[in-house]
Amino acid sequence: MDDTWGSELCFPNLNSSCRRLLRPRSETLLLYILVASVSLLTVTLNLLIIISISHFRQLHTPTNTLLQSMAVCDMGLGLLVMPVEGLRYIERCWLLGRIMCAVSPYLFYSLVSTSLGHMVLISIDRYLTICDPLIYSSKVTVTNVKICICLCWTCSITYNVLLLIDHLVQPDRFSSCHGECVVVISQISGTVDMFMTFIGPCTVMVVLYIRVFVAALSQMRVIQSQAAVTKARAAPPARKSPPKAARTLGILIVVYLMCYCPFFYPALSGVNSSSSLSYYPILAWIMILNSCLNPLIYAMFYPWFRKAIKLIITLRILQDNSPEVKIL
């Protein structure tokens, strides 16, 4: 009895059809369940962040506005990119047609680079908060942050049009058979993209984090020395806030680097970046999983997020005065 899923060809009625990778039925079902679970978890967690920051007025701050926009980006990856990449990996066939072959990689690259832009903005926000609080309080407003967010989205959308223009115009130019969607970025373009969307932004984030960490330690020493002189206990918020902000930012950056570094391996090894590479699905999924890990980090280090989740799950946000609840 045949225990495999589907036929040997992606499109059995076409002689020019690509061949699919036949898997045992149980393995195929397990992979579909896994992809659906990760996608649902990513969408749910990021949706909770969006609802929390939108609903509770106390959370309407510049920093949280950045987190909310980044959650929109991560939710888009979970809703639009994960299912498509999961289908591509499981079936080893492109079943969504020519138009989706053009649009899907563009959405993938745009959302990923937008997420990167938000990471840089969050690093700048944390740097100004701790290292230059006077400028932060006077210049960093919700309106200014929204302008920066719009610029981030616009730059990402425009940049990826330029990067993928050839693929958008002719998405099947590298396809060798019917049922294949191949995205190829030349070595030169891949190297430029690596510096534009990875090395450059990551350098900025790491430099800012080092300065934030040093400033946080300096503030801790000053507070501890003052407490020792006056023989009084420092207030918990003043003592823990700077180091906590530095620690959270550091974890976000480290997780980001762990997820994104492998994706640029082709450019580092001097070959064209192509979705037809045998190891491409692994690199892509490691990077995409960052959008699921971010809200988990928020849940671990932001008490307001855990409190907001409880209020949302218990439907207490439906009460008339719920937007005014003190959540910080």
Domain-embedded: residue 143: yes
Mean pLDDT on 306-316:
90
Residue 90: per-residue pLDDT: 86
Domain-embedded: residue 8: no
Residue 245: per-residue pLDDT: 63
Q: Is the pLDDT of residue 297 over 60?
A: yes
**What is the tally of structural domains in the chain?**
1
Could you read off the pLDDT of 154-169 as tens digits, one per residue? 999 999 999 999 889 9
Residue 1: per-residue pLDDT: 44
Q: DSSP code of 19? A: B
Mean pLDDT on 228-256:
63
Max Cα–Cα distance, the chain, nearest Å: 85
* Burial readout 140-151 (b: 16 or more C-beta within 10 A, e: otherwise): beeeebeebbee
Residue 255: per-residue pLDDT: 87
Task: Tell me the average pLDDT of the chain.
Answer: 84
Domain-embedded: residue 274: yes
Could you read off the pLDDT of 81-121 as tens digits, one per residue? 999 989 888 888 888 888 999 999 999 999 999 998 998 99
Q: Is the pLDDT of residue 275 over 80?
A: no
Pairwise pLDDT comparison (77 vs 129), residue with the higher score: 77
Lowest mean pLDDT among 86-95, 192-201, 247-256, 313-322: 247-256
Q: Is the pLDDT of residue 3 over 60?
A: no
Domain-embedded: residue 32: yes
Q: What is the CATH classification number for the domain harbouring 198?
A: 1.20.1070.10
Which stretches of the chain are DSSP H helices? 25-55, 62-76, 82-91, 97-131, 133-139, 142-163, 165-169, 187-194, 200-230, 236-260, 265-269, 280-288, 290-301, 303-313
Residue 45: per-residue pLDDT: 93
* Burial readout 48-68 (b: 16 or more C-beta within 10 A, e: otherwise): bbbbbbebbeebebbbbbbbb
Domain-embedded: residue 79: yes
| Containing structural domain, residue 156 | 25-324
Q: Is the pLDDT of residue 149 over 50?
A: yes
HSE-CB of 131 using CA atoms within 13 angstroms: 16
Domain-embedded: residue 3: no
* Burial readout 9-44 (b: 16 or more C-beta within 10 A, e: otherwise): bbbeeeeebbebeebeeeebeebbeebeebbeebbe
Could you read off the pLDDT of 255-271 as tens digits, one per residue? 888 888 888 777 777 66
Q: Is the pLDDT of residue 235 over 50?
A: no
Question: If pLDDT is split at 50, 70 and 90, which confidence band does 231 have?
Answer: low
For the chain, the C-alpha Rg in angstroms (whole number) is: 23
Residue 234: per-residue pLDDT: 47
Could you read off the pLDDT of 15-39 as tens digits, one per residue? 788 888 778 888 889 999 999 999 9
CB 152 within 8 A of CB 111: no
Residue 118: per-residue pLDDT: 92
Domain-embedded: residue 225: yes
Token pair for 103:
């649009």
Calpha distance 266→251 (Å, rounded): 26
Domain-embedded: residue 122: yes
Residue 227: per-residue pLDDT: 66
Calpha distance 67→80 (Å, rounded): 20
